[in-house]
A and B are shown apart, each in its own frame.
Chain A
Amino acid sequence: MSLDGKLEIYGITDVGRKRSHNEDTIGSDKELGVAVLADGMGGYKAGEVASAMAVNMILEDLRENLRNAKRGQIDEETGFSQETLVVKNAIEKANQTIYQTAQSQPQCHGMGTTLVTVAFHEDRLTIAHVGDSRLYRLRGDVFEQVTSDHSLLQELIDKGFYTPEEAKKSLNKNLVTRAMGIELNVAADLQEEVVMPGDIYLMCSDGLSDLVEDTEMHSTLKSHGDNLETAAKRLVQMANENGGKDNISVILARTLKPFTAKKSWYTKVFDWF
């Protein structure tokens, strides 16, 4: 199934104003309905090696394996669709390769990367993330963050030491508690969401979310959502206007019409109504 004509994707990555090089990597495949964003870290230029490895390997893996996944079938044990399990597997394989490279190449020692990946399929979206790269969704008038950061700050919020407003002023902003390439195994957070026509999805690195308020992202998507390129460039511009202290990456995806009419997972539960 090609998603061409049903989905628009536009991505942009920018070095920002303070850094000498860009450690973020983005990639997408519109026909396959997949987008990947990674924010690398560690060592001289090793961060960009890690993020590029993550994005390229995951894209390549999904190109090969997503088409062969048993469409719309749910795995009994995990409750996830087969597509989600393919994404999970791609992330785990990429993680191992990054980890092994970091171990064996002295110049890559200590490298790691965050990751956020989406895969559109049927009427669903598979979301996977590691670290503090995020996915937001605009549906109708509601703009919300769909992923929850693996960061010290989020832990502090969850434990009640900070309100989200207080957290914005904290110095501990850039401490992630999970990343790819740090250990042989990685636990990506996996989610599935229903996709509706007209939804706009925003993936970003912390270079955007640290410098541009959610409300500003919301209003930008609201006013420029019909042109993803304009909206994405405007978001990058806003982050740069606010200091551009980190690399800034944004991928926007918009669903144009429902993907399929297949609704096999509805059956059982509708008996109640």
Chain B
Amino acid sequence: MPAKLILSLNNSVLGEFPLDKERIILGRKAENDIQVDNLAVSGQHAAIITILNDSFLEDLDSTNGTYVNGKLVKKHALKNGDVITIGKHELKYVNDEASDEDDEFEKTMIIRPGMAGHAAAAAKAQEQATPARPAPGAGQAAPGAAAPAADANLPLGKIQVLSGPGAGKELELKKALITLGRPGVQVAVITRRPQGYFITHVEGTHPVVNGDSIGAQARQLKDHDVIELAGVKMEFFVS
């Protein structure tokens, strides 16, 4: 039995809605999967994304917000018994099958990438998502699996020197690995990982980013981070 939401107002039940689609939208307008006709509710207020046996709630930038068990949330992984509040309406999440030992789920399976991505997609998105499939099926292409490596889509990072003799110089971080600094004094390395650029200490004292020592751990660089290394200040930015 799929999980469901029980809609109520002032403790009287108004309806039950099975979560039998990957994406269910709640809101004031009639075209929503779950309509809650009250002015405190935004036209499209929140979405519930269901993947196999788990459901996730996302507030769709509603005017009055979405609360779970009294707490304002933007995104939330639903647990059996959670109470979602929008305006004065309540929706109780009931998932009887929630269990932590289900052998079916122990087997590694492959699903189409980007499932979670649909959650963040605009509510208006027309795309019809295909359901997760329990095994890699022959001939059934998994869209996205053949997408180019993530790093191909990574915006190009650059470093500009802010101080010292090289001030004003720029370096495009086109290489997978670039070593920076003065050997014997302080050296760090910037590596391009699929999820972004990371700076790691190599030699000497730990590099400083935005005024704080990064320690020995790799740290992801964000746009306009200022790196201090061997007495030279540099700015990292993405183009």
User: Taking beta carbons and an 8 Å cutoff, which residues of A are in contact with B?
Assistant: 18, 39, 41-43, 74, 76, 78-81, 84, 102-103, 109-112, 114, 124, 132, 139-142, 144, 146, 148, 150, 152, 155-156, 158-162, 166, 169-179, 181-194, 196, 206, 245-246, 263, 265-266, 268-273
DSSP majority for the A interface?
A: loop
Partner of A81, one of B106, B144, B150, B176: B176
Residues on the A chain within 8 Å of B185, using CB = 273
| Stretch of B14-22, B62-70, B107-115 lying at the A interface | B107-115
- Contact mask B178-209 → A, CB, 8 Å, 1/0? 11111101000101111100001010000000
| B230, closest chain A residue (CB) | A273
Partner of B182, one of A160, A181, A189, A273: A273
* Nearest CB of B to A234, in Å: 24
Which of the listed residues A78, A169, A191 has the most CB atoms from chain B within 10 Å of its own CB? A191
Bound-state Cα–Cα, A76 to B188, Å: 22
| Stretch of B29-37, B38-46, B81-89, B161-169 lying at the A interface | B161-169
- Contact mask B70-109 → A, CB, 8 Å, 1/0? 0000111100000000000000000000101010011111
Given known contacts A124-B177, A172-B54, A192-B191, A272 and B165 CB-to-CB distance under 8 angstroms: yes
Tell me if B6 counts as interface (CB < 8 A to partner A): no
11 A-B pairs in the complex with CB atoms less than 8 angstroms apart: A102-B136, A111-B136, A148-B193, A171-B53, A174-B106, A175-B108, A178-B113, A189-B194, A272-B232, A273-B164, A273-B232
- Contact mask B137-153 → A, CB, 8 Å, 1/0? 11101101111111100
Given known contacts A142-B217, A186-B146, A159 and B141 CB-to-CB distance under 8 angstroms: no
B114 touches A175 (CB 8 A): no
Given known contacts A156-B56, A183-B145, A273 and B202 CB-to-CB distance under 8 angstroms: no
Residues on the A chain within 8 Å of B178, using CB = 265, 269
Tell me if B124 counts as interface (CB < 8 A to partner A): no
Given known contacts A152-B116, A159-B116, A175-B132, A166 and B149 CB-to-CB distance under 8 angstroms: no
Residues on the A chain within 8 Å of B151, using CB = 189-190
User: Taking beta carbons and an 8 Å cutoff, which residues of B are in contact with A?
Assistant: 51-54, 56, 58, 74-77, 98, 100, 102, 105-117, 119-120, 132, 135-139, 141-142, 144-151, 161, 164-166, 169, 171, 174-183, 185, 189, 191-195, 200, 202, 215-218, 229-232, 234
Residues on the A chain within 8 Å of B111, using CB = 152, 175-177
Partner of A156, one of B53, B116, B147, B183: B116
B110 touches A175 (CB 8 A): yes
* Nearest CB of A to B7, in Å: 22
Residues on the A chain within 8 Å of B169, using CB = 272
Residues on the A chain within 8 Å of B110, using CB = 41, 112, 175-179, 182
B53 touches A79 (CB 8 A): no
Residues on the A chain within 8 Å of B183, using CB = 263, 266, 270
B230 touches A269 (CB 8 A): no
B182 touches A190 (CB 8 A): no
A191 touches B138 (CB 8 A): no
A191 touches B193 (CB 8 A): yes
A182 touches B216 (CB 8 A): no
Residues on the A chain within 8 Å of B76, using CB = 161
Residues on the A chain within 8 Å of B193, using CB = 148, 189, 191
A110 touches B108 (CB 8 A): no
Given known contacts A110-B135, A156-B77, A194-B189, A246 and B106 CB-to-CB distance under 8 angstroms: yes
Partner of A144, one of B174, B177, B218: B218
Bound-state Cα–Cα, A145 to B217, Å: 10
Residues on the B chain within 8 Å of A74, using CB = 175
Given known contacts A152-B51, A161-B76, A192-B191, A174 and B108 CB-to-CB distance under 8 angstroms: yes
Which of the listed residues A112, A159, A166, A268 has the most CB atoms from chain B within 10 Å of its own CB? A159
